[in-house]
């Protein structure tokens, strides 16, 4: 991955985290990694745990950012969620998988779309 793509991704994750916190979610983990992969954000929303994939793009020429969350990625996130729960020992009442899209315009603030229970 290029340095520029990493910077775009890091920007999107910061914007998404701020947006979610402003809407009452509490960040439990950022960029949680294990040998199986990575979860961008793990949050608490009331008594539920939310596993959130953040997708950032500089434009919509290749479709919406959420379109990049493939079936394979969904399966991987579900597997990672189970592993996170096992490793932390947290027993949530519910589990949810969200996607946050961040469109990064050439000028101005990023446009954020929070898709709750995306899959």
DSSP 76: H
Band the pLDDT of 94: cuts 50, 70, 90.
very high
Mean pLDDT within 2-9: 84
Give the DSSP per-residue string, 32-69. Answer: EEETTEEEEEEEEETTEEEEEEEEEES-STT--GGGG-
Mean pLDDT within 106-119: 85
User: Residue 37's closest CA among 2, 1, 72, 88?
Assistant: 72
- Residue ranges and CATH numbers for the domains of the chain are 3-115 (3.40.1350.10)
Band the pLDDT of 107: cuts 50, 70, 90.
confident
Out of 54-58, 76-80, 89-93, give the one with best mean pLDDT: 76-80
Band the pLDDT of 9: cuts 50, 70, 90.
confident
d(CA 110, CA 101) in angstroms, rounded, equals 10
Bridge partners of 50, per DSSP, are 43, 96
| 12-52 pLDDT per residue, tens | 999 999 999 999 999 999 999 999 999 999 999 999 999 99
Residue 35: count other Cβ atoms within 10 Å of its Cβ. Answer: 5
DSSP 1: -
Q: Of 60-64, 100-104, 115-119, give the lowest mean pLDDT range.
A: 60-64
């Amino acid at each position: 991955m290029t340095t520029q793509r990493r910077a775009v991704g890091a920007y999107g994750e910061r914007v998404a985290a701020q947006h979610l916190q402003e809407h009452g979610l509490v960040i439990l983990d950022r960029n949680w990694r294990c040998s199986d992969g990575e979860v961008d954000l793990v949050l608490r929303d009331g008594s539920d745990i939310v596993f959130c994939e953040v997708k950032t793009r500089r434009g919509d020429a290749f479709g919406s950012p959420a379109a990049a969350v493939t079936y394979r990625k969904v399966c991987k996130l579900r597997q990672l969620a189970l592993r996170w729960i096992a490793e932390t020992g947290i027993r949530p009442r519910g589990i949810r998988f969200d996607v946050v899209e961040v469109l990064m315009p050439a000028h101005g603030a990023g446009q954020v779309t929070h898709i709750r229970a995306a899959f």
